[in-house]
Amino acid sequence: MTLETTLAAIRPADAEAMTAARDLQARLTKPAGSLGALEELSVRLAGLAGVCPPPRPEPATVAVFAGDHGVHAQRVSPWPQEVTAQMVANFVAGGAVVNAFARQTGADVMVVDVGVAIPLHGGPNLLDANVRRGTRDMTIGPALTREEALAAVEVGIQVARTLVEQGAKALLTGDMGIANTTPAAALIAVFTGTSAGVVTGRGTGIDDDTLAHKVAVVTAALDRHSPDPADPLGVLAAVGGLEHAALTGFILGAAACRVPVIVDGVIAASAAVAAAAFAPDSVAAMVAGHRSAEPGASVALAHLGLEPLLDLGMRLGEGSGAVLALPVVQAAVRVLHEVATFDSAGVSEK
């Protein structure tokens, strides 16, 4: 499925289904509004599906897109680049945090090599979709060509489509890439019109001097390219990453399939604002799983008008926060399926 056909398939939320969900919430055996954000979440998911109650968001799969970054050469991270490939092997072996959380919540884990610098050995849950062996240094030139950026976006679209065809009813965003919070900050700065100093965070835990240097690196890249937010593919090519572009496609693919996509942390949030630039109606499919401790994540979610379900001070990535939020999303829908109405239960209303 191409980017063009995917964008054409994305439609606004169904107003009638949302009204039906609100009406049903008002008739359930509980005080109106007593489930707080879960009620509006159930309404949004009904609007996405076009039916009330919406399908239960299970089974679910978290897709972890992995890539490396030329900007790593600017010393924006203390971790060596080979850790990306090593962590991909850890995901495939089931030994990472996201794997443990997925086992807890019943989600499947799929790993996608879209841009890892080191060739990887295969595994049953590893997809080789490598577009190139890492991006170029965005402070020197564009991180990607437009053709490479489009190829990565379409990798994400195809992964989403394939998972839905295989029966997934919820998709979750995951990522891995040493130095990938640097392009994430650049993307969020462009699409939200916010300065680099506001959206750039500490990533894996850098010190104050490295943070100041990282802000300067993001600023220099933005000054060099002057990306136009009205040209989202051009922005992804100039200052993005291969996993960021693939996640953008993954979110767009979920929206085109009318399946909810739970957005993880700052990497996913940067892809979400890119997806919204391609197709504003894609926001209807997005559920903010948690509020990352990375400052750019909150800026991106505010831009999208999304409130995160969890706020645990996490900044790991991998899809960990999205997977933790999955049972909350499932519970919101289960209420519409299983809770009795006042009439059916014979309970008096006030």
Q: Are 255 and 10 in contact (CB under 8 A)?
A: yes
Return d(Cα 3, Cα 9) in angstroms, integer.
10
What angle is formed at CA 255 by the lines to CA 185 and CA 316, rounded to 5 degrees? 35
Return d(Cα 44, Cα 105) in angstroms, integer.
22
Residue 40 appears among annotated catalytic residues: no
Can you spell out the DSSP letters for 182-225? Answer: HHHHHHHHHHHT--HHHH---TTT--HHHHHHHHHHHHHHHHHH
Quick one: which H or E segment has residue 105?
helix 97-105
Can you spell out the DSSP letters for 159-184? Answer: HHHHHHHTT-SEEEEEEE-TTTHHHH
Across-strand partners of 288? 263
Q: Are 109 and 98 in contact (CB under 8 A)?
A: yes
Q: Which is the catalytic residue, given 148, 318, 338, 349? A: 318
CA dihedral 90, 319, 208, 184 (to 10 degrees): 110
Quick one: which H or E segment has residue 81?
none
Q: Are 139 and 75 in contact (CB under 8 A)?
A: no
Helix axis angle, 181-192 to 242-256, nearest 10°: 60
Catalytic positions are 318
